[in-house]
């Protein structure tokens, strides 16, 4: 089931916009996998997203549900810094930490990190946030690449970890150029495996350091022995009578 959920999650654009009715893309993927939600509730993914979910789940590719929103161009938030009062509400609302700023200080958006979720708009008390077209005429998945979706997923999970103080593993994106099914491409290292790898690497490093420390005295001993032999030879040579 976890791999199935991962495959569905990978077919979502990871804007974390909540328009599907769930708190994030992963929860929507879980609901789809468990048969609790239809596959046509993601406006950012558009009709192409519905088709991808249909291929994974084996369900019919229904038209996008307009109750969740319409397929549209990708947008990026922009803060009018002349009107920003530094309330930090947009910073708290952003699911990918794409807004920089501090209390009573000017805020600004990191364009590369913004998913266009629009969650910052309703919380701004002075309406100083605008949305700029970032994809021209392209909509849905045509306006959003798998690499961008993966980056958004990772930023969201780091955001969640920062908020709840946990260190849960981040879902892995499908390998580039993979020819296997989406389900098989989702598998990632568990936290235990990552920890084991780190312990193994540390042990190998300590072992190498120990060998180096042992090798150094051995070389020094050889030099000392050689020096003693040469000194003794000179002493013996000096003590011989001349012919």
pLDDT tens-place string over residues 168-197:
555 544 444 433 333 333 333 334 433 434
C-alpha Rg value of the chain to the nearest Å: 30
Q: Which helix (H) or strand (E) holds 174?
A: none
- Number of residues in the chain: 243
Per-residue b/e over 24-57, b at no fewer than 16 CB within 10 Å?
Answer: bbbbbbbbbbeeebbbbbbbbbbbbbbbbbbebb
* pTM of the full structure: 0.68
pLDDT tens-place string over residues 132-171:
999 999 999 999 999 999 999 999 999 999 998 755 555 5
Q: How far is CA 209 from CA 147, 204, 212, 213, 215, in A?
A: 39, 9, 5, 6, 10
Q: What share of the chain is helix, strand, coil (3-state, %, to 5)?
A: 45, 5, 45
pLDDT tens-place string over residues 8-64:
999 999 999 999 999 999 999 999 999 999 999 999 999 999 999 999 999 999 999
pLDDT tens-place string over residues 101-121:
999 999 999 999 999 999 999
């Amino acid at each position: 089931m976890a791999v199935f959920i991962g495959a569905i999650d990978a077919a979502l654009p990871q804007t974390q916009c909540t328009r599907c009715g769930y708190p994030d893309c992963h929860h929507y993927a879980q609901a789809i996998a468990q048969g609790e939600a239809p596959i046509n509730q993601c406006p950012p993914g558009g009709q192409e997203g519905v088709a991808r979910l249909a291929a994974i789940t084996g369900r019919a590719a229904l038209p996008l549900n307009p109750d969740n929103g319409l397929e549209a161009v990708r947008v990026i938030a922009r803060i009018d810094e002349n009107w920003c009062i530094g309330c930090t509400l947009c910073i708290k609302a952003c699911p990918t930490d794409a807004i920089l700023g501090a209390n009573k200080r000017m805020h600004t958006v990191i364009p590369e990190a913004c998913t266009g979720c629009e969650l910052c708009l309703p919380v701004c008390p002075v309406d100083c946030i605008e949305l700029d077209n970032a994809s021209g005429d392209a909509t849905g998945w045509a306006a959003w690449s798998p690499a961008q979706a993966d980056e958004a997923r990772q930023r969201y999970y780091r955001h969640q970890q920062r908020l709840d103080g946990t260190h849960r593993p981040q879902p892995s994106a499908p390998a580039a150029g993979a020819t296997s099914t989406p389900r098989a491409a989702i598998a990632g290292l568990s936290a235990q495996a990552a920890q084991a790898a780190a312990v193994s690497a540390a042990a190998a490093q300590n072992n190498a350091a120990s060998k180096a420390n042992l090798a150094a005295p051995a070389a020094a001993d050889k030099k000392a022995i050689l020096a003693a032999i040469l000194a003794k030879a000179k002493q013996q040579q000096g003590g011989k009578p001349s012919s």
